[in-house]
A and B are shown apart, each in its own frame.
Chain A
Amino acid sequence: MAWTHPINYAKGALIDPTHLNTYLRDNMKDIYTVIAVQTETLLKNNNASFSNLVGMSFSVLSGEVWSFHAWSYWNSGSVADAKWTVTAPAASTGRFGLAGGGQALTAANETTFGNPIAIASSGSSNQLVNLAAYITAGANGTIQLQAAQNTATAADSNWYLNSFIIAHRVSA
């Protein structure tokens, strides 16, 4: 349900149950927000296969629409660089992307969930990217962020715990 501006209650006003449904239940649904934190650091060495950023996920139901923005703390060498993706339930639609301190390598926005979005690393310094997505869920399931080296390289690349995601459910 879309947002409805809550009324001002005057002295002696009757509290109709529909008020609670409209101004409390439906508005709470409209502003429903999930905040999740990455709970362990992901380490990749000579590995360009995606793995979950543990904790950087949230559950969705079929037909729900969600938008999220996320902040991913990482470092990687300038040969390995870095890539991310968003996985979503089957038949989900929308677009996801990233912006950060490096130039896009493959693409920095995508419509196919599971495809990579990658940027160049400046080297060994710690770095930060902002990821965002607008998604209509095609089935019940989980929206999950993943990461890997863009080029498998025998050196450590890290995606650090305490990265976080803020997801907002969008009213129909």
Chain B
Amino acid sequence: MEYVHPDLLNVALRDNMLALRQQKIRQTADVAKTTTTLDNLTGLELPVLQGEMWHFQTFVFFTSNGTANLKLAFRAENVLGSATNGIMFGRYGLWGSSAPITNGHVATYVASPGAAESVAITTGTLADMCVLSGTVLATVDGSIQTMGAQQTASGTTTFRENSFILAWRVDQ
């Protein structure tokens, strides 16, 4: 009979599993926008526990137009789902087949993202894709919620179902 020391399980199983942790989260419905007011992209919410740091990429499928363009942001929420300042830290940015309008990246996760906490790019009229990439460190259990809107109110901008977040845990 061979005895397994618990530290072996903790190091070889638990810690290694935590190091490999991933999250894959999809947008569960189309979100159509005709205004510049940021709204949640349904389901595109990354939960983060206290003390965790994550790297993530959010692949956003959309249609818009050359006047409306688009903007994206993240709202910081606590574990109860309440928008909260000062709990999530890091930086996130946006790129696609187009040019940044205001910010290409920002360094703040806040309860109510405004112009300073949004990233925006130009768009055409054809269906397209852009990528949000960032890191987030949580000081309490909570989440970051992806939000989207038009940069300039014009026509309809649709953020498509099956846009998704891939996230990898950075540290333990």
Tell me if B126 counts as interface (CB < 8 A to partner A). Answer: yes
Residues of chain A in range 102-126 having any CB-CB distance to chain B below 8 Å = 102-110, 119
Would you give the 0/1 interface string for B5-22, flagging 1 where the beta carbon is closer than 8 Å to chain A? 011011001100110111
Q: Contacts A24-B17, A27-B17; is A108 near B24 (CB within 8 Å)?
A: no
Q: Quick check: which of A8-16, A137-145, A155-163 contacts chain B, the rest being far away?
A: A8-16
Q: Contacts A9-B6, A11-B6, A130-B131; is A108 near B20 (CB within 8 Å)?
A: no
Which chain A residue has the least Cβ–Cβ distance from B95? A99
| CA of A101 to CA of B24, assembled, Å | 26
With beta carbons under 8 angstroms apart, the residue of A6, A108, A109 that contacts B18 is: A6
How many residues on the A side are at the interface (Cβ–Cβ under 8 A)?
42
Whether B124 lies near A103 (C-beta < 8 A) is: yes
Whether B97 lies near A132 (C-beta < 8 A) is: no
With beta carbons under 8 angstroms apart, the residue of A15, A31, A94, A98 that contacts B21 is: A31
| CA of A7 to CA of B17, assembled, Å | 11
Tell me if A67 counts as interface (CB < 8 A to partner B). Answer: yes
Whether A97 lies near B61 (C-beta < 8 A) is: yes
Whether A7 lies near B14 (C-beta < 8 A) is: yes
Chain B positions within 8 Å of A104 at CB level? 97, 124, 126-128
Whether A103 lies near B97 (C-beta < 8 A) is: yes
Chain B positions within 8 Å of A94 at CB level? 162
Chain A positions within 8 Å of B59 at CB level? 69, 97, 132, 134
Shortest distance from the beta carbon of A78 to any chain B beta carbon, whole Å: 15
Chain B positions within 8 Å of A168 at CB level? 22, 24, 166
Chain B positions within 8 Å of A11 at CB level? 6
Chain A positions within 8 Å of B98 at CB level? 103
With beta carbons under 8 angstroms apart, the residue of B14, B97, B163 that contacts A9 is: B14
| CA of A105 to CA of B61, assembled, Å | 16
